[in-house]
Amino acid sequence: MNPIITIIEKMSSIAGRIAGYLMIPLTLIVVYTIIMRRFLHDAPDWGFEVPIFIYGISILLAGAEVLRVKGHIAVDIIPRLLSPGWNKVFGIFAMLLVIFVTTFLIYRGSIMAIESTMIMEHSSHQSSFNPQIWWFKWFIPLSGFLIWLQAWAEIYKIAKGGYTDDSAI
């Protein structure tokens, strides 16, 4: 396989692993917050917002890996009716659609992240914790870029005939 495609797929895989490993601290924080609230009547100030950040980062980072392993929900009625040649065309069209959407996500997400960074934006939940959230917004264009790269890798695999799961386009 092309070394660039291998690098892209490795990046998607690493991002997916990070997303998976983030479930460990997320679970521990939620359990800790529940125990503190239920039994000690003293929930930490950060117990509400930190899990939101961790979960959000996990979902955003997992996108490229989900695309790589074809773990997304797919309507496979059309691909089953098409010939292998048209199936390739359909697959490339689907990935071009992903590229279009992620290009917009990268563009608008970058603008939002830059604006948020410039004002050092804080949480809108108005909790006593009130953390800065500008750093969190950078995960939007980052994850969009990872999905964008993986979509190009998928197009390459489809075009070269290495696409093995025609039903999950």
Q: What is the residue extent of each domain of the chain?
A: 3-168
Q: Report DSSP letters for 89-141, one per residue.
A: HHHHHHHHHHHHHHHHHHHHHHHHHHHHHHTT-B-SS--SS--B-HHHHTHHH
Q: Mean pLDDT per 10-residue run, the chain (169 residues)?
A: 93 97 98 95 91 96 95 78 88 95 98 97 84 95 98 95 54
Distance separating alpha carbons of residues 162 and 157, to the nearest angstrom? 5
Number of other CB atoms surrounding residue 67 within 10 Å = 23
Q: How far is CA 112 from CA 21, 73, 98, 101, in A?
A: 27, 29, 20, 16
**Phi, psi (rounded to 5 degrees) for 132:** -70, 140
The predicted pLDDT at position 111 comes to 98
CB-neighbour burial class of residue 120 (10 A; exposed 0-12, middle 13-18, buried 19+): exposed
Rounded to 10 deg, the angle between the 139-160 and 49-68 helix axes is: 10
Distance separating alpha carbons of residues 108 and 156, to the nearest angstrom? 26
Amino acid at 4: I
The predicted pLDDT at position 169 comes to 46
Instruction: Report residue 120 as tokens.
Output: 């050092």
pTM of the predicted model, to two decimals?
A: 0.87
